[in-house]
């Protein structure tokens, strides 16, 4: 259907006078996008950090006159849905842990990386500081502590990229992990297991990442030895924005917004603490934060317009400072 419509558009443009044809084939200017751009479809994975960044994007897009739809999907399903045109934007491509997931879609040109939206992130296996002090300092050390660990490593939801990396390590008996069990659960359930182990001063190996309040809540240490899979323990990971094929060209105003959109560890930690530590809903926390931090809006909305073509910044500032 999309190919047929493209053919019709070019056929109509060819019949126009040269001056008009030039404007017709150049595509819409930012802020004056086709109707197909009116509804923005985003994927969200159920992780608090991506819930925060997705809530930021959706609140701003809504204030600009766009409709938004957010679907909760696993990472593999997210990239598959983008390849079939069912999802437009994903703000949670963690590198290097998701590289194998996205590679086939990048190779076929079905998705496109817009930019890195977060630097100096962390992602990998971690332990409480007392376990680290006892000698559990590297991934290769885990097998030596098998008895104390109950032959278990704690991950998050099934299908998560890190879980699949760990399952592959277990299956291949990498670093002697062949007899270990990966306990798959939700982010809150895993953190509850960590809290219980620390309360009893027991060792535990679990997935950890930054930004996340767990880095302040627990005295933890990241294990060395997993750099090739997760990124270096000290700020070796990054998070990027991904769109489906040609999306930022078809919807250039949204594309410009995504090119501008980046986050910081301080910002995300602050918002996640409000959600996890104080029970706020992501949308409410984001709205309050944006209302209290207007300078960041000027950076994100440089050159961006509303759906109707008006300058974006005054509209968004008004939306988030209104009492």
DSSP 8-state class, residue 311: B
Q: Where are the domain boundaries for CATH 3.40.190.100 in the chain? A: 122-230
CB-hemisphere CA count at 13 Å for 229? 18
Q: Which tokens is 162 given?
A: 């890190």
Each residue's pLDDT tens digit in the chain (323 positions)?
333 333 333 333 343 333 333 333 344 444 468 899 999 999 998 888 999 999 999 999 999 999 999 999 999 999 999 999 999 999 999 988 889 899 999 999 999 999 999 998 888 899 999 999 999 999 999 999 999 999 999 999 887 878 888 999 999 999 999 999 999 998 899 999 999 999 999 999 999 988 998 998 899 999 988 666 665 444 468 999 999 999 999 999 999 999 999 999 989 988 988 888 888 888 888 888 888 888 899 999 999 999 999 999 999 988 887 64
User: Phi and psi for 19 in degrees, rounded to 5?
Assistant: -65, -40
Q: How far apart are CA 66 and CA 304, in angstroms?
A: 13
The separation between CA 59 and the C-alpha centre of its own chain, rounded to angstroms, equals 16
The pairing of beta strand 181-183 with beta strand 152-154: parallel
Q: Which tokens is 128 given?
A: 């409480």
Q: What pLDDT, on a 0 to 100 scale, did the predictor assign at position 230?
A: 64
pTM over 0.85: no
Q: What pLDDT, on a 0 to 100 scale, did the predictor assign at position 214?
A: 92
Q: Which of 221, 79, 97 is nearest to 163 (CA)?
A: 97
214 within 8 A of 191, measured Cβ to Cβ: yes
User: Scanning the structure block, which residue is given the tokens 């930019």?
Assistant: 115
Nearest-5° Cα angle at 95, 94 to 97: 85
Q: Where are the domain boundaries for CATH 3.40.190.10 in the chain? A: 34-119+237-321
Q: How far apart are CA 94 and CA 281, in angstroms?
A: 24
Q: How far apart are CA 51 and CA 68, in angstroms?
A: 14
* Beta strand spans in the chain (E): 39-44, 67-72, 89-95, 111-128, 152-154, 181-183, 206-210, 220-222, 237-244
Q: How far apart are CA 181 and CA 170, in angstroms?
A: 8
Q: Who's near 266: CB < 8 A, 6+ residues apart?
A: none
Q: How far apart are CA 236 and CA 230, in angstroms?
A: 8
211 within 8 A of 269, measured Cβ to Cβ: yes
Q: Which tokens is 245 given?
A: 């094929």
Torsion of CA 209, 270, 129, 127, to 10 degrees: -20
How is domain 34-119+237-321 classified at the CATH fold level? D-Maltodextrin-Binding Protein; domain 2 (3.40.190)
Q: How far apart are CA 294 and CA 34, in angstroms?
A: 29
118 within 8 A of 237, measured Cβ to Cβ: no
Q: What pLDDT, on a 0 to 100 scale, did the predictor assign at position 219?
A: 95
Residues in the chain: 323
Q: What pLDDT, on a 0 to 100 scale, did the predictor assign at position 207?
A: 94
The pairing of beta strand 111-128 with beta strand 220-222: antiparallel
242 within 8 A of 90, measured Cβ to Cβ: yes
Q: How far apart are CA 1 and CA 117, in angstroms?
A: 33
122 within 8 A of 95, measured Cβ to Cβ: no
In this structure, whether the domain defined by 122-230 belongs to CATH 3.40.50.300 is answered with no
Please say whether the dihedral angle defined by the alpha carbons of residues 84, 87, 93 and 98, taken in this order, is positive or negative: negative
């Amino acid at each position: 259907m999309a190919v047929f419509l493209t053919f019709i558009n070019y056929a109509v443009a060819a019949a126009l006078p040269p001056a008009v044809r030039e404007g017709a084939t150049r595509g819409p200017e930012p802020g004056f996008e086709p109707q197909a751009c009116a509804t923005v479809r985003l994927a969200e994975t159920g992780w608090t950090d991506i819930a925060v960044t997705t809530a930021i994007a959706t609140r701003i897009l809504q204030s600009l006159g766009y409709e938004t739809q957010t679907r909760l999907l696993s990472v593999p399903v997210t990239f598959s849905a983008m390849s079939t045109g069912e999802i437009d934007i994903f703000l949670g491509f963690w590198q290097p842990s998701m590289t194998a997931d996205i590679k086939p879609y990048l190779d076929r040109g079905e998705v496109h990386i817009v930019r890195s939206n977060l630097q100096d992130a962390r992602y990998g296996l971690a332990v409480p500081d007392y376990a680290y002090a006892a000698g559990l300092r590297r991934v290769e050390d885990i097998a030596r502590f098998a008895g104390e660990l109950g032959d278990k490593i704690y991950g998050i939801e099934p299908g998560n990229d890190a879980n699949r990396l760990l399952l592959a390590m277990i299956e291949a008996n990498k670093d002697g992990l062949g007899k270990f069990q990966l306990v798959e659960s939700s982010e809150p359930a895993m953190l509850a297991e960590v809290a219980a182990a620390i309360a009893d001063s027991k060792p535990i190996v679990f997935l950890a990442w930054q930004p996340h309040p767990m880095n302040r809540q627990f005295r933890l240490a990241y294990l060395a030895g997993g750099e090739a899979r997760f990124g270096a323990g000290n700020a070796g990971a990054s998070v990027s924005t991904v769109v489906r094929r040609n999306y930022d060209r078809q919807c250039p105003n949204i594309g410009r917004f995504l090119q501008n959109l980046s986050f910081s560890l301080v910002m995300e930690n602050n918002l996640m603490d409000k959600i996890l530590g104080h029970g706020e809903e992501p949308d409410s926390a984001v709205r309050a934060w944006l209302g209290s931090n207007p300078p960041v809006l000027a950076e994100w909305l440089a050159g961006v317009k509303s759906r109707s073509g008006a300058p974006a910044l005054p509209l968004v500032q008004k939306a988030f400072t209104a009492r």
